Structure formats: structure tokens, C-alpha cells
Amino acid sequence: MESITDAVKKMEGYDQLRRQLDRIKQQILQDPYVASFMEANPGINEVNLEKGLTKLYEYSKERHNCDNCPGLERCPNLMQGYQPVLTADKDQIEIFYEKCFLKKQDEKQKSMTALIKSYFIPRDILQASFDRLHSIDQDRKEAIGSAAEFVKKVAAGEECKGLYFYGKFGVGKTYLLGAIANRLAERQISSLLVHTPEFLREMKNSLSDGSFNEKMELLKTVPVLMLDDIGAENMTNWVRDEIIGVILQYRMMERLPTLYTSNYDFSLLEEHFSYSQKGGLEEAKGKRIMERIRHLTVPVFIGGDKNFRSLQ
């Protein structure tokens, strides 16, 4: 009885099909990537080569897609963000996929972003980096150095004081907090960066939606808390005594670092915290809050005559 293979060979057009397949085979084998693989694996015989021809074709096509990469979002490969790798397992051709550089970078960025929680912070601040700060003028170098040293100590597991950045509007205080948050995330340390005035308004609203305790717990326990623009909030006894005071007391007891930015120096901030809705001043309560801040932070003045945004 005639075999199927022999029967196929006698079919009309078989010779033409065979010639086309041979041309495709030669094109695949002449591909530099495939040729390099075959040269490195001389044990692959003709039978295994025929069996693995479709894998070689797939590899060639996908590998050249990577050479002409249009970006992760437009990746044309079968598995977006993955590049092909050929192996010869017992001289049989196999193909598998591994994450490309762009895919790894994207996942790393998403992982870092997940480590940085924020409330009411502009997008450009959440993308801040120390690399862009090295070119900033001399007046800001001390602050940048203090920030870098803080990250170094926290990453090393050392106990260290937080930082209190103060100076006039527009000198780059908030951007510096963003750079710290991103550098900490690179070292797998989570942080929370909040715009204090807006967040405190949110805390008042959270009393009605049931999320107050959850938010308080987050601010109290996050490994690194950053309170941006403290002193710009509308001061009330409730904000001072039940929110800021409680958070700072807990963090002081647990020795969790807290960073601040403010337009006020310590003396002016103490006056702000001494405000009383009932009229007059409650100096003892203002001093109590400031004692917690002074005890666990180092004041760092950020100078500069030019607006930070004009220096970027």
C-alpha cells in the first residue's frame, strides 16, 4: 500500500510547493540570528532542523521586531514586551520568551509607583529625580546633600532624624520631597507624600465617609511620611490636637522619620500652631507640637533668588 508521504509527493503542484519551502528554509537559515544559533549548535541534524523550522521562522521574525522596536505599547510580538530566545535541548530546537529591557523597566517603574502613595501632589513632583537636581544652583546644594544623606541612612536601616525644609515659595522644596520618595522607592522603601492643607480638608470629609481611621493609621505608620507645605493649612484646634498632634506623637514614639516643607521657620510655625479659634493664643499647645517636630527633624534652609521651575 502506498504511504501518505509518497502519495503527497505525486500530487499536482508538489514540486513547486517544495521549491517554495526550500527557498523559505534557506532564507531562514541565512538570517544572521538563526545562522549564529545553528553555528553554536552543530549537533542539530536535518530531521530536527525540519521539525524546528517553524520555531526558527518565529524567532527570526520576532527578533527583528525587537531590532526595530516601536516601543512597549506598540510591541508587535506575540507576547507584548517579551523577546524570543532559542535553545537546543538534546539537539531539538525550542523557543521561549523572556521580558525585554523595556518590559522590565516598565514593571520596575510600576513597582516603584506602588511604593509611593500620595495625596494632592502634582504629577511632575511624583516624577522628580535627584539626577535633575545636580545642576541646580549653589543655594540649594546643602538641601540636596541633606536629602541624599537621609535616603542613604534610611536605606541602610539606620535610625535618623527627618528633615524640615523651609524657604520662600518656589525654591523647589516640594520637588525635593518627590526626588526623595522616588529614590526610596528604588530601594524598596515605601513613603507617603501629602499636600498638607488639602489633605487636612480631606480628613474632615472622611469623618462622614468612614475612612478617617484608615487614613490616620496610614499617616501614623507609613515608614516615611512627608508633609508638604505645613503651616499653610487653616489652623483649628481639631486639626492641631486631633490630627497633627496625634500623628506626630505616634511617629515620635515609634521613631518613624517625618519630612516637612514649609514657608515658615520653626518660630513662625510655632506661632501658627498656637492659634486658637477662641481668640488669643494657646502657646503651650503650639510648643507641644513644635517639640515633636524639633525633636526628630533637622531644619534645612533652601535659598535661591531664582524660581526653581526656571532652573529645570
Helix (H) or strand (E) holding 298: strand 297-301
pLDDT tens for 257-286 read 999 999 999 999 999 999 877 766 788 888
Domain boundaries, the chain: 4-99, 109-311
Q: What is the pLDDT of residue 101?
A: 87
End-to-end CA distance of the chain: 82
Question: 19-33: per-residue pLDDT in tens?
Answer: 777 888 888 889 999
Residue 1 has pLDDT above 50, yes or no: no
Pick the CATH number of 109-311 from 3.40.640.10, 3.40.50.620, 3.40.50.300, 3.50.50.60: 3.40.50.300
Contacts of 186 (CB under 8 A, 6+ apart): 112
302 contacts 137 by C-beta, under 8 angstroms:
no
Grid cell at residue 281? 493664643
pTM value surpassing 0.75? no
The C-alpha cell at 304 is 535661591
- Classify burial at 176, counting beta carbons within 10 Å of its beta carbon; exposed 0-12, middle 13-18, buried 19 or more: buried
Q: Are 208 and 155 in contact (CB under 8 A)?
A: no
Between CA 248 and CA 293 the distance in angstroms is 8
List, for residues 109-157, the tens digit of each pLDDT value: 666 555 567 777 887 888 888 887 765 556 678 888 999 999 999 999 9
CA 300 to chain centroid, in Å, comes to 26
DSSP structure class, residue 116 = E
Predicted local confidence at residue 220, as pLDDT: 92
pLDDT digits (tens, 9 = 90+) for 204-214: 888 888 888 88
Distance CA 285, CA 283 (A): 5
**Number of other residues whose CB lies within 10 A of the CB of residue 265:** 14
- Amino acid 122: pLDDT: 80
